[in-house]
Structure 1
Amino acid sequence: MEQTSVTPMHRETAADKTRNLTKMALCVAFLAISSYLAFPLPFTPAMVVGTTIIVNMTAFILKPNDAFLVVLAWLLIGAIGVPVLPGGSAGLGRLLGPTGGFYVCFAIAAWLMSKLLNGSNSFKRMVFLGIAVGMPIIYVGGCVSMYLVAHMDVWATLVAAVFPFIFGDVVKVLAGAFLATRINMFLKN
């Protein structure tokens, strides 16, 4: 009979689980707090929000499923009426409104960015993923909801959901990546 070598797998200890759940809970709290850092623009139903920084940070410090669950928890808390959505808003209507696609796609973007980051703590890789993966996913979600709910044509949708936000979102990706690299370095010590 042939014997195969079995490498021991790293088992997550209770301390590891506690640390991970704490990181997740803090990310949900930061998402809620950052949603109050918002201001409207006069020509679009979308607001400039600080939440995008925390979505990026969450994707860059958590495993993919954990990042997805954090954003999903934040969305569910907002959907049941707790004022944690952008601008201190709440309710299912907010998620089904013209800007709801942005918020729903935060979860998809966080999962995919985390998956592609694959545990790296490279600032450049984080920035690349935030700009090349996260921003397009979030913009597509926002465009779809504005197009369908606000009945805008394609050009008007792009003007309202994408163009005014590109520069600011690049800055927010940089901020999220900066925070994540520092947090990851701190947590490894």
Structure 2
Amino acid sequence: MNTKSRFNTMELTKMGLLTALICVSAYIVIPLPFSPASLTAQTLVVNLIALLLTPRQAAFTIIVYILLGLTGLPVFSGGVGGPGKLFGPTGGYIMAWLIAVILMSWLKGQRYSFARYCLVTVCVGMPIIYLLGSVYMKFVTGMDWISTFTVAVFPFIPLDLFKCAAAALIAKPVQESLSRARSVI
């Protein structure tokens, strides 16, 4: 039997807590009257998932989150669930998180580095999320490229830069706490 394919209790706990955190962060929403997308705390948590987990764990966490939402549980932004949200104008962002967390987790390195964590979240994660989310929104809504970027990317950049830095800062004490917890267990 291959034990490498299974997650241990600590890994499952981390993934479960981060899944719960992304679900809760969906309720921290600031709607924008000019955009189908809202400002949420979810991108902060997506970055944390990538920075705290391995690529495999991060992918699994986002897949579980997406499946929870697809079944109708109100875990998508604004407390919405069901396929309508995932396949609506902003669904591309949710789907992009899967690719973004895998790449960010893979590129973050083995040891904590604030600069590297910021670089990976800003230069890898955000562009992937913006690009895939915007392409999907353009396809679903039929907007032109300028309109799509105006409502789906530009208004979000300043706060997302802050959320990237915040995730990079938060990751270190969380990693240290998890290491201490691992040594106690």
**TM-score, normalised by the number of residues in structure 2:** 0.92
What is the distance in 1 between the residues matched to 2:29 and 2:39?
5
User: Are 1:128 and 2:128 an aligned pair?
Assistant: no
What is the distance in 2 between the residues matched to 1:141 and 1:34?
21
SS in 2 for 1:48: strand
Q: Which has the larger radius of gyration?
A: 1
The percent of aligned pairs where both chains have the same amino acid is 41
What is the distance in 1 between the residues matched to 2:36 and 2:136?
11
What is the distance in 2 between the residues matched to 1:46 and 1:33?
17
User: Are 1:61 and 2:52 an aligned pair?
Assistant: yes
Kept in 2, the 8 Å contact 1:113–1:133? The answer is yes
Larger deviation, residues 50-59 vs 178-187: 178-187
What is the distance in 2 between the residues matched to 1:118 and 1:21?
21
Shift of 1:150: 0.7
User: Are 1:174 and 2:165 an aligned pair?
Assistant: yes
The residue aligned with 1:100 is 91
What is the distance in 1 between the residues matched to 2:150 and 2:71?
31
SS in 1 for 2:72: coil
Q: Which of 122, 138, 147 is matched with 2:138 structurally?
A: 147
What is the distance in 2 between the residues matched to 1:59 and 1:120?
13
What is the distance in 2 between the residues matched to 1:121 and 1:48?
28
Structure 2 spans left out of the alignment, 5+ residues: 181-185
Structure 1 counterpart of 2:148, one-letter code: T
Structure 1 spans left out of the alignment, 5+ residues: 1-10
SS in 2 for 1:86: coil
What is the distance in 2 between the residues matched to 1:152 and 1:119?
41
Runs of 4+ in 1 over 2 A off after TM superposition: none
SS in 1 for 2:39: strand
What is the distance in 2 between the residues matched to 1:72 and 1:119?
23
Structure 2 counterpart of 1:97, one-letter code: G
The residue aligned with 1:44 is 35
What is the distance in 2 between the residues matched to 1:72 and 1:80?
12
Number of residues paired by the alignment?
Answer: 177
Structure 2 counterpart of 1:144, one-letter code: V
**TM-score, normalised by the number of residues in structure 1:** 0.90
Shift of 1:178: 1.4
Q: What is the root-mean-square deviation in Å for CA atoms of aligned residues?
A: 1.5
The residue aligned with 1:80 is 71
The residue aligned with 2:183 is none
User: Are 1:113 and 2:67 an aligned pair?
Assistant: no
Shift of 1:119: 2.3
User: Are 1:187 and 2:175 an aligned pair?
Assistant: no
